[in-house]
Chains A and B, each alone.
Chain A
Amino acid sequence: MSATHQHGDVEPIEGKYVHVEIEGVDHRIYVEENGPADGVPLLCQHTAGNNCQEWRHLLADEELTDRFRIIAHDLPYHGKSVPPTTGEWWTEDYTMTAKRFAETLVSLADALELEDPIYMGSSMGGNICLELADWYPDRFRALIGLECGAHSPGFYIDWLDHPQVNTTEVNAYACWGLMAPQSPEQARRETMYLYEQGANGVFKGDLYYYSVDHDYRDKLDQVNAAECPLYVVNGEYDYLTTPEDGRQTAEGIGEGAVAVEMAEIGHFPMSEHPELFNAYIAEILADVTGDREETLPEVMTPEDVGIELHPPAPAREKPAD
């Protein structure tokens, strides 16, 4: 990740729109990508109520995009993917379900003609790895579930779509503590800024999937990680799906599932601390592609991946003079 840019620098990330049929309806989906056309496809899913800009630092990672064709999309109703132009969507609450979410991802991979893609997503994008390995184990080469668990109750909250609440700000800052205090404030604030761009009711609608429809507590044996390797990679400060939840999920799945804890990071690793996340995920990706000889550790620390936290403790926020 380059921290600074010169005037005139152009990031080689390209955007385009692809038409994808979901539940029999045409959707115009925005995707950004970077990396060689014949690189290993890596499809990246944003978190609930957010958009593909969360992945901008991974998309700009020169080393990873040397080998991987990194693709990040906006789900319908998010970012630049407008609602379908057929149907009166404004007469109903937007509600995401497990079935629709999984079908969207598979249909998008088909529309982009991705061969043996790796799928990676965070939060709702992490949880859906269980449905994908259950329902479509032959479609992906591997699944990387960031902030993934069998069950993540309690975040389908009415106040996130309420006329007496400034949901622009609340939908963001309800997530403030999902990030680690060690993560750079600039990156944490940008993550909140991205949250503030969500359309009315969409974050809450996504959380219907996240906190209500997704519940694998009694059916982890259906998750076919033996056919499609599954990595459960949770951050230390993620209070919704903790590293311990991740370990229990991987243990419940059994063969093919691995849990790795990322120390000193939270629930939005790719956007809250891109430098640390890109270093962590390079290790996971090397395991997927067989380029890593040792087994992945149970806990990865900044020191393990050669990242010095700067400043070493979180910057003391000085009160104004």
Chain B
Amino acid sequence: MNEPEFASHEWWEAYKETVNSDPEMAVRGHDRFDENFYLDIGDERVLIEVEGGRIESIVPNPTLNHQWSFGVEGDREAWEEFVRETPPAFNHEIIASHYRSAVRNEDGHLRLTGDNEKIFGNLRAFQRTLDLMRVAHNDGGS
């Protein structure tokens, strides 16, 4: 089976399935994760709508009619490193990547935006959701 192209429609569908079948998202209070967040992959924005630790929907190009609490921004190359099976140092996890951007002022990494209280209020569930992009990318979500 050909793996779908990163961040294509098929890829996001497989990703949603990966998140919604992940055992860790259902335990330790992660099933209370209820915050929507967006991902900027280069110039493309995708909204991830979350309810009860599950992805309800994935919305390309969200508008003023949508709501989100926080987001992650980065160029496509940084995201492609992030989802690699063995990701390179400093683009291997969201806090790592944000730290190199925000504290060390380096280019080529991801950056967190939005409500920090909600980010830290949901940190592990959010972080796990992002890490599952790597799982979906390398397994095809099946």
Chain A contacts to B: CB under 8 angstroms: 153-154, 159, 162, 164-166, 169-170, 172-174, 176-178, 180-182, 236-237, 239-240, 313-314, 316-321
Contact = CB atoms under 8 A, between A and B. Distances in A.
Nearest to A313: B86
Interface residues of B, number: 35
B34 interface: no
Contact of B87 (A165, A181, A321): A181
16 contacts: A153-B103, A159-B117, A164-B121, A165-B120, A165-B121, A165-B123, A169-B123, A174-B95, A174-B123, A177-B94, A313-B86, A316-B85, A319-B17, A319-B21, A319-B132, A320-B23
A164 B117 contact: yes
Interface centre among B17, B121, B132 (most CB of A within 10 A): B121
B135 A317 contact: yes
A319 B127 CA distance: 16
B139 A176 contact: no
Contact of A170 (B23, B92, B123): B123
Given A316-B139, A320-B22, A177 B95 contact: yes
Given A170-B123, A316-B138, A316-B139, A176 B93 contact: yes
Interface of B: 17-18, 21-23, 28-29, 85-87, 89-90, 92-97, 99-100, 102-103, 116-117, 120-121, 123-124, 127, 132, 135-136, 138-139, 141
A319 B90 contact: no
Nearest to B116: A159
Given A318-B139, A320-B22, A169 B85 contact: no
Contacts of A180: 89, 92
Contacts of A236: 89
Contacts of A178: 96
A174 B123 CA distance: 8
What are the 7 tightest A-B residue pairs by CB atom distance, in nearest-first order? A177-B93, A154-B103, A177-B96, A159-B120, A173-B124, A239-B96, A237-B89
B95 A176 contact: yes
A123 B123 CA distance: 22
Contacts of A181: 86-87, 92
Contacts of B92: 177, 180-181, 237
Contact of A173 (B18, B22, B117, B127): B127
Contacts of A165: 117, 120-121, 123
Contacts of A159: 116-117, 120
A317 to B, nearest CB: 5
B110 to A, nearest CB: 11
A317 B21 CA distance: 12
Nearest to B32: A166
A71 B90 CA distance: 32
Contacts of A182: 86
Contact of B124 (A170, A237, A314): A170
Interface centre among A154, A172, A176, A321 (most CB of B within 10 A): A176
Given A154-B102, A316-B85, 14 more contacts: A164-B121, A165-B121, A165-B123, A169-B124, A173-B123, A174-B95, A174-B123, A178-B96, A180-B92, A237-B96, A316-B138, A319-B18, A319-B21, A319-B132
A193 to B, nearest CB: 12
B62 to A, nearest CB: 26
Contacts of A154: 99, 102-103
A150 B132 CA distance: 35
